[in-house]
Structure 1
């Protein structure tokens, strides 16, 4: 019976080492790309262009998103500029839940689905706290598809416009991601 050491000196050892060496040398050369994006999400709970709605809360679906514990579904337009008539490049689809006792903070979980432009067919998965009473807040990019496969990153959300009585807002998302 051959010993372990004698089997290591067989001609198959170099063949096993070649894929490992190739992987080790190419992995070090692969650097992540960094992409910076700026786009606008139009969040409308009222009007002819409603794109968000409350689905649950203490008074059922009639509860305002401004009340603690309220859950809303969104399918908001995403545009290149802050003007609602600027070029549409995607949709922001997902959920908001009001998770702050005083009602001034949301927890976001949504996908930005690019439907036009350079990133058409790709997505970014966003989640994090949104204390919307603060002008500028940070969120996480936790995943992505297509162009953004293996992405990780962060974004800064800024309220460009807010109309609380009519529950309408335009949010600027300034995103920095690293991906391969």
Structure 2
């Protein structure tokens, strides 16, 4: 009969019910899937247990002189030479980190990154570097420093902003004291005390 409505249980009604159900489910699932690029994790799922505080003490050797310098100038501003603070000067570094102040003492890692003169009023450096460790269980792990270093202050402090390997999720600070500085060559030996919270 033309114009008659479908009978209950007919394939048309069953197909329509399935289609409506699928559309409703898609309307609920798709917005969630589209916005779920991030999720909250339980830290234990990454093997993170109790946070601990570690202290490291070593010496940073910034060598500008000789045939194999560990700090090399990579940039300067047109006004750097007339600046009393060297404003605009930048060095790339691969400085040895040793257990004692002598450069031939035991090597525990390298400080890799850069520093730049970022103050017009005093010798203040912007320092960005990774302490890439090579010793014992810390071999292959890094601690990342980013901060301001007023080099003629007796003690300076810079933040630890992260790390890798054993120092994932690291945070803390470093205290820095100049051990020796050669005004002729620019070479420096600096004591670093690192206080870092990590898992």
Category of TM-score, reference length = shorter chain: 0.7 to 0.9
2:52 aligns with 33
C-alpha distance 47-72 of structure 1, shift in aligned 2 (>3 A): same
Match of 1:128 among 136, 147, 166: 147
Q: Does 1:46 align with 2:69?
A: no
Aligned CA RMSD, in angstroms, stands at 2.7
2:3 aligns with none
Match of 1:154 among 173, 178, 186: 173
Q: Does 1:67 align with 2:96?
A: no
Q: Does 1:105 align with 2:119?
A: no
Q: How many residue pairs were aligned? A: 156
1:87 aligns with 106
Offset of 1:37 from its aligned partner?
Answer: 0.5
> Runs ≥4 in structure 1, deviation > 2 angstroms?
23-26, 58-64
Question: What runs of 5+ residues in structure 1 fail to find an aligned partner?
Answer: 1-22
Query: Do 1:35 and 1:177's aligned partners in 2 also have CA atoms closer than 8 Å?
Result: yes
Match of 2:186 among 167, 173, 176: 167
CA distance in 2, matches of 1:35, 1:160: 23
CA distance in 1, matches of 2:80, 2:88: 12
Query: Do 2:98 and 2:107's aligned partners in 1 also have CA atoms closer than 8 Å?
Result: yes
CA distance in 1, matches of 2:82, 2:59: 26
Match of 1:55 among 57, 68, 74: 74
Q: Which has the higher strand share?
A: 1
CA distance in 1, matches of 2:134, 2:73: 25
Offset of 1:41 from its aligned partner?
Answer: 0.7
1:118 aligns with 137
Task: Choose 1 or 2 for highest CA Rg.
Answer: 2
Offset of 1:116 from its aligned partner?
Answer: 2.1
Question: What runs of 5+ residues in structure 2 fail to find an aligned partner?
Answer: 1-41
Query: Do 2:80 and 2:88's aligned partners in 1 also have CA atoms closer than 8 Å?
Result: no
Match of 1:78 among 87, 94, 97: 97
